[in-house]
Amino acid sequence: MTTPSTTLYGIPNCDTVKRARAWLDDHDIAYGFHDFKKQGVPEAELDRWLAALGWETLVNRRGTTWRKLDDATRESVVDAASARAVLLANPSLIKRPVVDWRQKARQADITAGFDAEQWARSL
């Protein structure tokens, strides 16, 4: 059996991650799952995501983790380097799920967040 080339990164109890996983299952797309809580944030992959998507896309400013940060930490996130440090320290701040679609040539290599319509158009 070969390892799936699509990898979904996230937190298993996140509702958006649950919906994304169900969508992938419903569309018979094989994928590996990387659990931020158990496996941490892979630094080399985070660097790839920052380069591909930009730090503004990866930092989830709408979630409770962002709101729980102190003002100084929130105000310190001003560029990719500062975002990287905060994302590594707070994996729940990463907009979820991050999907590496290496098997889908027509789809962006990396996406953040779940958009069923966008994913369906890319199949």
Catalytic member of 7, 8, 10, 14: 14
- In angstroms, the CA 90 to CA 63 distance is 12
Q: 57-71 in b/e burial notation, b at 16+ Cβ within 10 A?
A: bbbbeebeebeebee
Our answer to whether residue 14 is catalytic in this structure is yes
- Is the CA virtual torsion 59, 53, 44, 72 positive or negative? negative
- Phi/psi for 106 (5° steps) reads -85, -10
CB 96 within 8 A of CB 60: yes
Catalytic residues: 14
